[in-house]
């Protein structure tokens, strides 16, 4: 077991997959000579050369389309979009081509690309650099959307995503690249479908993903020590397709549910998970399911306002206590 | 394949005349089927532009070289190697179609023939073509990718982004601009500051030529040079073909925006009639020969192609949820580990 940072785990996955298969290459802005804004490709340019570690111009839709075209020939691109805010510009190619090409060609062509991109609200990056876009990607049929909460997941998901024949969007978080965690020494492939019980409990289910899993963990600690509420935490590491079974199993056990998301509530993960709970296990509920989400605004620059816009562990605690009538 | 140094032999001309006439008759039959509501959705016909796709691809290696284009894609697909009856069945939405009825007119695919698709977002294939070329390069292949798009696609950002990267990385891609003077209903001089498209490419240091797209000999000669350039590893090339579509942008287009005088001028430059008359004048063919060829084509379209499409079954309902995600992909479950 190695205790490494998120970026080191992602870098290791790149390195192993590029060694394993000469048709794996990566492309993105500043990923080569610079080594990546978040160091996820550090040293790979020197090791694999400019044909396989490609510094692209700032042309998100263009280079994403190039990656997709290359993938038609069985080549495996890992495309880094420096910030998820820039991924808006590549949506045409991701949605109109990658997500649909197998379907509209009657199964003849597929686009086995990986797009990695960090989103989330970091420190005072302002409205145009603080988007949380996972809900947009998960609304499109034909894409897989995964989002790691730990270095182990980040490592294993990227490895599986490179080999999977579907286009996979990996939603990372700008604040998590230096977070440490245990990653197995041996090669490990994380599933791209499902969810996992991050903390076992009996009184309430907290459903989170990516950074919000950590808020749930902090909240569970407070709930346990201060309020004797034993929370179960479901890590929804796959946002599309969502793990209906995993959600239902936990909620049917605890009979209460709170979904925690960093994004705005409109048409989001919380709304979708709530719909699943209502469809699948409404009569198991002791209280209406609730969600803890961001305020429905762009993200402000001012730090006090920024913190007020997005949820935190205390908000989760408050929401849970309300469900318990305390 | 045609003759050497970009010259077409008499036999090549006769063969290409037949191919162009077939393309014209095929497209006109699609028109009828659309009016009869046998073909649905949007239908973009290639009538008038035949010398472009057929002339360029005759100078390349269809079936080995990769071809990609927009939604005006039937003739390119057939020349690449898709069986016309299977293509017609696709237009009918039948399960025997090249995409099993899942694609339709704007999404013709034939990967066995390396026809990498028709795409319906204007300008979408620019980066895909460069990507295919990147894939060829990574696999060490000698093939090239040929991307056909209309003039109006050059006003998309993808044009500039892709040409920049294609040159930056010297990718083996030939961009063919079929300049038919209209972007849907807007004439090029009302939408585009630089009307000569080949000039715009100079900004990316990519060699380019503009030639008459209504003369298949000219197209063939220019394409031969272009293909050679790209295949020799010198990077991308841009070939602009001046052409005209006889129908509207699509079947839902009344075509009222074009002056009749302009249509008459282009009508006199018809690639099929002019090549036919050239062969007749040279004593290589009689009008009777031509009419015989035409009748055979019409008969073949009716009895083989349309009949096949008509008689084919609908896709089963289970097809609805097929092909969305990969079936039984082991890596979805984390592989063997």
Note the pLDDT tens digit of each residue in A13-28: 999 999 999 999 999 9
Q: What's the rounded Cα separation, in Å, for the pair B282 and B10?
A: 10
Taking contacts as CB-CB distances below 8 angstroms, the residues of chain B near A76 are none
Is the per-residue pLDDT at B1 higher than 80?
no
List all residues of chain A from 135 to 164 with a beta carbon under 8 Å from chain B.
Answer: 141-142, 144, 156, 160-161, 163-164
Residue B228: partners with Cβ closer than 8 Å, 6 or more residues away = none
Task: Write down the pLDDT at residue B159.
Answer: 98
Mean of per-residue pLDDT scores for chain B: 96
**pLDDT bucket at B3, cuts 50 / 70 / 90:** very low
Give me the residue from B100, B165, B326 closest to A59, CB to CB.
B165
Active site residue A187: no
> Element (H or E) spanning B20, and its range?
helix B10-35
**pLDDT bucket at B2, cuts 50 / 70 / 90:** very low
List all residues of chain A from 53 to 82 with a beta carbon under 8 Å from chain B.
Answer: 54, 56-57, 59, 61-75
Cβ atoms of residues A84 and B184 within 8 Å: no
Task: Write down the pLDDT at residue B49.
Answer: 98
Taking contacts as CB-CB distances below 8 angstroms, the residues of chain B near A25 are 138
Angle at B155 between CA B150 and CA B156, to 5 degrees: 95
CB count, 10 Å around CB of B234? Answer: 12
> Element (H or E) spanning B240, and its range?
strand B237-242
Distance (Å) from the C-alpha of residue B241 to the closest C-alpha of chain A?
Answer: 24
ipTM: 0.96
Taking contacts as CB-CB distances below 8 angstroms, the residues of chain B near A189 are 331, 334-335, 337
Chain B residue with the nearest C-alpha to that of A163: B331
Is the per-residue pLDDT at B337 higher than 90?
no
Q: Which residue has the tokens 């179609």?
A: B97
Note the pLDDT tens digit of each residue in A123-159: 999 999 999 999 999 999 999 999 999 999 999 999 9
Active site residue A284: no
State what percent of residues in chain B have pLDDT above 90.
95
Is the per-residue pLDDT at B57 higher than 70?
yes
Cβ atoms of residues A192 and A238 within 8 Å: yes
Phi-psi region of A207 (alpha: psi -120 to 50; beta: other; left: phi over 0): beta
Mean pLDDT, range B250-277, rounded to an integer: 93
Residue A236: partners with Cβ closer than 8 Å, 6 or more residues away = A147, A195, A207, A208, A209, A242, A243, A246, A247, A269, A273
Task: Write down the pLDDT at residue B336.
Answer: 66
Burial of A129 (0-12, 13-18, 19+ CB in 10 A): middle
Task: Write down the pLDDT at residue A322.
Answer: 97
> Quick check: A96 contacting B, CB < 8 Å?
yes
Interface test with A, best of B69, B135, B159 (most A CBs within 10 A): B135
Task: Write down the pLDDT at residue B5.
Answer: 77
Beta bridge partners of A55: A28
Note the pLDDT tens digit of each residue in B147-191: 999 999 999 999 999 999 999 999 999 999 999 999 999 999 999
Q: What's the rounded Cα separation, in Å, for the pair A150 and A181?
A: 6
Nearest to B56 by CA among B31, B75, B70: B75
Note the pLDDT tens digit of each residue in A258-315: 999 999 999 999 999 999 999 999 999 999 999 999 999 999 999 999 999 999 999 9
Q: What's the rounded Cα separation, in Å, for the pair B231 and B233?
A: 5
**pLDDT bucket at B335, cuts 50 / 70 / 90:** confident
> Element (H or E) spanning A78, and its range?
strand A76-80
Nearest to B118 by CA among B129, B130, B105, B128: B105
Cβ atoms of residues A76 and A21 within 8 Å: yes
Give me the residue from B107, B134, B135 closest to A105, CB to CB.
B107
Give me the residue from B128, B332, B335 closest to A65, CB to CB.
B128
Distance (Å) from the C-alpha of residue B185 to the closest C-alpha of chain A?
Answer: 23
Chain A residue with the nearest C-alpha to that of B171: A66
Note the pLDDT tens digit of each residue in A54-100: 999 999 999 999 999 999 999 999 999 999 999 999 999 999 999 99
> Element (H or E) spanning B211, and its range?
strand B208-212
Cβ atoms of residues B107 and B119 within 8 Å: yes
Active-site residue, selected from the candidate residues A17, A29, A60, A262: A60
The answer to whether B333 contacts A102, with C-beta atoms less than 8 Å apart, is no
The answer to whether A75 contacts B127, with C-beta atoms less than 8 Å apart, is no
CB count, 10 Å around CB of B331? Answer: 23
**pLDDT bucket at B256, cuts 50 / 70 / 90:** confident
CA distances from B96 to A109, A127, B82 (A): 17, 50, 13
The answer to whether A75 contacts B138, with C-beta atoms less than 8 Å apart, is yes
> Quick check: A185 contacting B, CB < 8 Å?
no
Q: What's the rounded Cα separation, in Å, for the pair B193 and B223?
A: 26
Note the pLDDT tens digit of each residue in A210-250: 999 999 999 999 999 999 999 999 999 999 999 999 999 99
Mean of per-residue pLDDT scores for chain A: 97
Q: Which residue has the tokens 């977070």?
A: A179
Q: What's the rounded Cα separation, in Å, for the pair A274 and A269?
A: 8
Task: Write down the pLDDT at residue B4.
Answer: 54
Q: Which residue has the tokens 């040409």?
A: B163
Q: Which pTM value belongs to this model?
A: 0.97
């Amino acid at each position: 077991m190695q205790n490494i940072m998120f970026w080191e785990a992602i870098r290791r996955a790149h390195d192993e997959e590029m060694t394993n298969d000469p048709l794996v290459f990566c492309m993105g802005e500043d990923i080569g000579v610079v080594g990546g804004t978040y160091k996820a490709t550090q040293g790979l340019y020197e090791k694999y050369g400019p044909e396989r570690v490609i510094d692209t111009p700032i042309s998100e839709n263009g280079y994403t389309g190039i990656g997709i075209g290359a993938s038609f020939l069985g080549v495996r691109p890992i495309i880094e979009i420096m910030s998820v805010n820039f991924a808006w510009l590549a949506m045409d190619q991701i949605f109109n081509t990658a997500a649909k090409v197998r379907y509209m060609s009657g199964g003849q062509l597929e686009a086995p690309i990986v797009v990695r991109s960090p989103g989330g609200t970091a420190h005072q990056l302002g409205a145009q650099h603080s988007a949380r876009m996972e809900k947009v990607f998960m609304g499109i049929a034909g894409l897989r959307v995964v989002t790691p909460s730990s270095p182990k997941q980040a490592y294993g998901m990227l490895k599986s995503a490179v080999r999977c024949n579907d286009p996979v969007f990996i939603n990372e978080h700008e604040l998590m690249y230096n977070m440490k965690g245990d990653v197995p020494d041996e090669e490990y492939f994380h599933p791209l479908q499902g969810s996992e019980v991050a903390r076992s409990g009996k009184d309430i289910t907290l459903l989170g993903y990516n950074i919000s899993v950590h808020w749930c963990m902090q909240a569970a600690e407070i709930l346990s020590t201060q309020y004797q509420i034993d929370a179960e935490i479901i890590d929804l590491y796959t946002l599309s397709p969502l793990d209906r079974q995993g959600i239902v199993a936990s909620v049917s056990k605890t009979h209460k549910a709170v979904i925690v998301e960093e994004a705005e509530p409109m048409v989001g993960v919380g709304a979708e998970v709530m719909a699943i709970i209502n469809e699948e296990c409404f009569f198991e509920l002791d209280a209406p399911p609730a969600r803890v989400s961001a305020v429905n605004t762009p993200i402000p620059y001012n730090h006090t306002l920024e913190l007020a816009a997005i949820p935190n562990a205390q908000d989760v605690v408050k929401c849970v206590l309300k469900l318990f009538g305390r | 394949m045609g003759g050497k140094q970009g010259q077409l032999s008499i036999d090549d001309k006769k063969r290409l005349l037949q191919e162009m006439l077939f393309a014209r008759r095929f497209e006109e039959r699609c028109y009828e089927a659309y009016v009869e509501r046998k073909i649905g959705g949007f239908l973009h016909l290639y009538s008038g532009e035949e010398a472009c796709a057929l002339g360029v691809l005759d100078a390349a290696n269809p079936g080995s070289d990769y071809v990609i284009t927009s939604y005006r894609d039937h003739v390119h697909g057939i020349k690449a190697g898709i069986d016309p009856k299977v293509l017609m069945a696709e237009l009918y939405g039948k399960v025997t179609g090249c995409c099993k009825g899942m694609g339709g007119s704007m999404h013709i695919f034939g990967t066995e023939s390396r026809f990498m698709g028709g795409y319906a977002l204007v300008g979408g294939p620019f980066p895909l073509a460069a990507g295919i070329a990147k894939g060829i390069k990574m696999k060490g292949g000698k093939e090239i990718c040929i991307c056909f798009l209309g003039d109006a696609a050059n006003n998309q950002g993808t044009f500039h982004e892709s040409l920049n990267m294609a040159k930056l990385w010297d990718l083996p891609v030939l961009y063919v601009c079929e300049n038919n003077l209209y972007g849907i209903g807007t004439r090029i001089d009302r939408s585009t500051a630089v009307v000569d498209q080949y000039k715009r490419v100079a900004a990316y240091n990519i060699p380019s030529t503009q030639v008459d797209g209504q003369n298949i000999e000219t197209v063939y000669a220019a394409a031969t040079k272009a293909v050679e350039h790209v295949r020799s590893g010198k990077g991308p090339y841009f070939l602009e073909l001046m052409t005209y579509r006889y129908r509207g942008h699509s079947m839902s287009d009344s075509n009222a925006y074009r002056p009749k005088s302009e249509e008459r001028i282009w009508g006199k430059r018809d690639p099929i009639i002019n090549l036919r008359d050239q062969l007749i004048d040279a004593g290589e063919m009689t009008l009777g020969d031509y009419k015989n060829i035409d009748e055979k084509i019409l008969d073949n379209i009716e009895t083989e192609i349309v009949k096949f499409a008509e008689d084919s079954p609908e896709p089963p309902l289970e097809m609805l949820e097929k092909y969305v995600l990969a079936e039984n992909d082991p890596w979805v479950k984390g592989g063997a580990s």
